[in-house]
Every structure is written in structure tokens, then in C-alpha cells.
Structure 1
Amino acid sequence: MTVDILFVQGGGRDVHDQWDARLVARLKKELGPGYSVRYPRMPDEADPHYPPWRDALRNEVADLQDGVLLIGHSIGGAILIHTLADQLPRRKLGGVFLIATPFIGDGGWPSDEISSKSNLADHLPADVPFFLYHGTHDEVVPFEHLRLYESAMPHALARPLDGADHQLNGDLSCVAQDIFALKLRG
């Protein structure tokens, strides 16, 4: 049986093809067979907005099987986690992985479109494992955002990555290891 993975890109001009495609390729290589990684292009990637990305994510998840793993990079991760907090999908989730994700709210980034939730854990399923990855040398999203997520989601497993940049230096082996560990538990 193949495990479905939905990888949500970050925002910015040509991010889908020029930047995050490399992360997806690396993840596929790390995981090998048995995993199907879906990598849709999000609407107007150069100027991401919550409502159209939220709607696109809901449609994508609806097309996948129970046990789907959701991975969000950068603003894609922020939109992903808030989409889940606003309305859980009908699909049973196998795990959620946030990479270099900006925290929306007090101490993080402001948003006119996303409601700040200081305690995201109250809005998320307790039986789904959540993982947070953030490099100490992230030049786009300050490393302190990881600490904000740790406070808002105390049940999540945080992985601070020493020396890693916003793209985790192109190395998603830590994400793949956590995915393998989930499969062993399941």
C-alpha cells in the first residue's frame, strides 16, 4: 500500500519550480518506493493569499486516502496549519510536518487574512503527530518562530536544525526519518 503525501509549496515568484521542487525531489529520493508525493502548484504563488490556498488545500486533501501525510514549507506551512485549525478534513491524517514555517500572531508575522491562534493545539486533532523543522540560519523566517510554535502546539515534536537555512540546506533526511518512524508505529 502506498502512503500519500501532500507537499505544500512556499510562496514567492517561481518557488514551485525553482526552489521547492528541489525539496520535493530530495524527499522522494529519501523516501523511495511506497510513498506517493503530490506537489500541486498553489494559486498565484508569487502573491499567496489564505482563501484561495485554503480552498486548494481542502480540495487536494479530499482527493487523497486516509492516513495522508501533510508537509508544508514556509508560508505554505502556515496556511496548511491554519486550514486544519479552521476546519479539519474528513480524511484521517497520518501526520503533519511544518518546515521553516512562519508563526502567524503575537510575536510572529501579522496577517489580515489568517486569524491568530495562540494555542493552535486546541484546534487540532490530538491523535495526529505534528513535527516542526526550522534551521538556525533561516534568512527568511526567524528561528524564533519555531519557539512560538512550540508554545502554541506543545504536543508537536520540534526539530531545531543547527546551521540549516530556509530550505534546510536542501536536506530533508530528518523529515524522511520521522516519516519512516511513523510507518513503523502505524
Structure 2
Amino acid sequence: MKKNVLFIHSAGVQGLHQGSSDLITYLKESLGDEYSFICPKMPNLDFMLWEDLLVREFAALDGEVLLISHSLGGSVLVKYLSEKTINCSISGLFLIAAPFWGKDDDWQVNEYILRENFPTTLPHISQVFLYHSRNDKVVPFAHLGHYKQTLPMAKTHILDDDGHYFNNGLPKLVADIKEL
């Protein structure tokens, strides 16, 4: 039986070589036929629209799932998981270059800010992984520190030379997925 993967992409256009598209292609090719990828096209930047789509996606999931998210998709997914009830088993949560809203001055958008106690309201997640590049020019590296502080059980991968979009893939992510 194939393993379910729900991938929530970054904000913005997701055309060829844009946004998370190269990363998604890399993951599909690297993981192969053992995995069933669900990559919904997320709407504009309105959290409520993302939330509505996530409600439908989670309702359609059956069994165990791996959740992979990139950039804004990561912060939206964590907020959703901490505020909603889901009916599937999460064997891994993989946050790639996710912004942590509300801590830094330039990252104050109320609809994305997590509740103070958000880690206590997350569903059971077997393993959490964090990936962030030191040279990310979109989401500052300091955001990884905010996630590490609030999710101390997460396995953290600090990356060099990968930027924000991971157009050439993310081998460490593939290795972590295959180890589960």
C-alpha cells in the first residue's frame, strides 16, 4: 500500500520552476511509486481560503499520512493542525523554511500568528522535522530558532547553500522520509 503524502506549497505562483514546484517534482521523483502525493493548489494569501481547502483535504485522507510543507504552507499547516481536529494519523510533519509569524517586527500578520500554547493543541505527530537554510533570503534564519524553541522535540536540519526554494532538491528530507 502506498504511503500518503500531503504537500502544502509556498505562497505565490506555482508554475514551472516557480514557488515549490521544483521541490515537489524532486520529491515525487526521489520517493517514487511507494508514495501517493497530494499537492493541492492553494489559493491566494487569505488564511480562511487555505483553511477551507485544508478541511477538504484532511476529510479525504484515509489512514496514515506524511505532512510536508514549504514556506507559508508550513506556518498555515501548523496553525491549522493546532486549531482544528483531524481524523488521520500523522507519522511525520516536515516544515521547510516555514515563517514563524508574530515574533519578528516584519512578520506581524495576525491571521498567521500561532496561539501562545499551540504546541499543546497539536494532534499527536510521531515525528517533527525542521529544515531551514542559513542563507534563506525570503524567510530569515531566525524563524527556525522560534520553531526550535516551541517544538523542542523536532529534529532540526540547518542547511547551507540551499536558499529558500530548494530548486535542486532536498536530499536530507528524502532520507528522513525513507527512514520513517
TM-score for both structures, normalised by structure 1: 0.88
Structure 2 unmatched runs, 5+: none
Does structure 2 conserve the Cα–Cα contact (< 8 Å) formed by 1:10 and 1:16?
no
Report the Cα offset of residue 37 of structure 1. 1.0
CA distance in 2, matches of 1:135, 1:88: 31
Residue number in structure 2 paired with 1:7: 7
Residue number in structure 2 paired with 1:23: 23
Paired residues for 1:140-179 under 5 Å: 140-179=138-177
Residue number in structure 1 paired with 2:95: 98
TM-score for both structures, normalised by structure 2: 0.91
Q: Secondary structure at the match of 1:19?
A: coil
Report the Cα offset of residue 122 of structure 1. 1.3
Report the Cα offset of residue 157 of structure 1. 1.0
Does structure 2 conserve the Cα–Cα contact (< 8 Å) formed by 1:22 and 1:170?
yes
CA distance in 2, matches of 1:57, 1:16: 21
Report the Cα offset of residue 16 of structure 1. 5.0
Structure 1 unmatched runs, 5+: none
Does structure 1 conserve the Cα–Cα contact (< 8 Å) formed by 2:58 and 2:86?
yes
Report the Cα offset of residue 118 of structure 1. 4.1
CA distance in 1, matches of 2:102, 2:168: 28
Question: Is the deviation greater in 157-166 or in 141-150?
Answer: 157-166
* Matched residue type, 1:66: G
Q: Alignment partner for residue 116 of structure 1, among 105, 108, 114? A: 114
Change (3 A) 1:55 1:98: same
Does structure 2 conserve the Cα–Cα contact (< 8 Å) formed by 1:74 and 1:100?
yes
